[in-house]
Amino acid sequence: MSEPPGRILLTGACGYLASRIIQRLESMAEVDYILATDIRPPRVEFSTEKTEFHTLDVCEPFPDLLKEHDVESVVHLAYVMNPGHDRDAAWRVNVLGTENLLGACRNANVKQICYLSSTSVYGAHPDNPEFLTEESPARPIKGFQYSEDKAEVETLLSQYAESQPNAAVTVLRVCPVLGPNADNFIAAAFSKPFLVAVRGYDPPMQFIHEDDLVDNLLRCLIEQPRGTFNLAGEGVIRWSDMARIFGRRLLNVPAPILYGLTGLGWTLRLQQDSPPCGIDFIRHRWTASTRKAQRELGSSFRYSSREAWESFATGGIAQTTGHAD
């Protein structure tokens, strides 16, 4: 087993996942120092003297923070997740921000970079196999910026790994993360009084519980593996079952109408949930195999996809109903 890194940087440190990761790192005796950065101020104070917060905009060239603080490992979480109409602004954070970070990592001779990517880089396509593997091509849906930027960042990380053979670069392709504290596009979709579906389609969906994600990410920080790994809870849950468990009415709409209405609402800025291409994710399968992670990382998952969903449905109803975020 590799030695746990003593000095760690987390970008995007004010997100709910990062906060949970920091809490776990603070409890590890092997971790000496945590440099937490975000463009936003933290909502709560960090609990130990191990963690130091710096306000940092990844869109700007990095100062010498990593070198000054002898950072050994980096967890890169700074990312614009929600769909938006300003593609350039999101690209600057997602892609240019990663370029800036990699430059700082190169300058500081960082030993490891761990990046949270997404299984959505495979795209939701009608010809997808039952389970996509890490060898399956990345085919992000055209026009869905979240996935397109993730794929572009993966290319940057691959190039960095080739140019810096002494650095361990770990890419975790993660399905949607759920749990009682979930705050993502799935949680936002279920804040509505009813749920739309494409008539004639009921795709299987994968989820990973927030605790399982944190456990597996910390494992990667300790083991420092190289390469790309899919992470998802065992099994699948159908879109219709998700609606039933959550107590939402399912409105089945013919594909041409649903795509048309979604596109009109997006163009007129009447809705901010998704451009029309996002409908593909509730129409076609995009489930991923986790065999590589289980085999090479020893990954394990306490919660199945269904159990991750149920943990959100039971713990998240009070949070999402009438919630404005």
Residues whose CB is less than 8 angstroms from the CB of residue 186 and which lie 6 or more positions away in sequence, other chains included: 176, 178, 207, 312
Query: Are 320 and 190 spatial neighbours (Cβ–Cβ below 8 Å)?
Result: yes
The C-alpha atoms of residue 98 and residue 62 are separated, in whole angstroms, by 10
Q: In the numeric block, which tokens belong to residue 113?
A: 């970079």
pTM of the predicted structure, to 2 decimals: 0.93
Report the amino acid identity of residue 209: H
The C-alpha atoms of residue 3 and residue 54 are separated, in whole angstroms, by 26
91 to 95, 171, 307: CA distances (angstroms)? 5, 19, 34
Rounded to a whole number of angstroms, the distance between the first and last alpha carbons of the chain is 41
Residues whose CB is less than 8 angstroms from the CB of residue 122 and which lie 6 or more positions away in sequence, other chains included: 128, 132, 136, 137, 138, 139, 140, 173, 286, 288
Instruction: Characterize the bridge pairing of strands 168-174 and 112-118.
Output: parallel
* pLDDT tens digit at each of 325 positions of the chain: 466 678 999 999 988 889 889 999 999 888 999 999 999 888 777 767 899 999 999 999 888 999 999 999 999 999 998 888 899 999 999 999 999 999 999 999 999 999 999 999 999 999 999 999 999 999 999 999 999 999 999 999 999 999 999 999 999 999 999 988 777 777 777 778 888 999 999 999 999 999 999 999 999 999 999 999 999 999 999 999 999 998 889 999 999 999 999 999 999 998 888 899 999 999 999 999 999 999 999 999 999 999 999 999 887 543 333 322 2
Q: In the numeric block, which tokens belong to residue 323?
A: 């919630």
Which domains are assigned to the chain?
Answer: 7-177+209-232+286-301 (3.40.50.720)
The C-alpha atoms of residue 245 and residue 157 are separated, in whole angstroms, by 39
Strand partners, 114: 75, 170
Task: Tell me which residue of 230, 180, 177 sits closest to 208, measured CA to CA.
Answer: 177
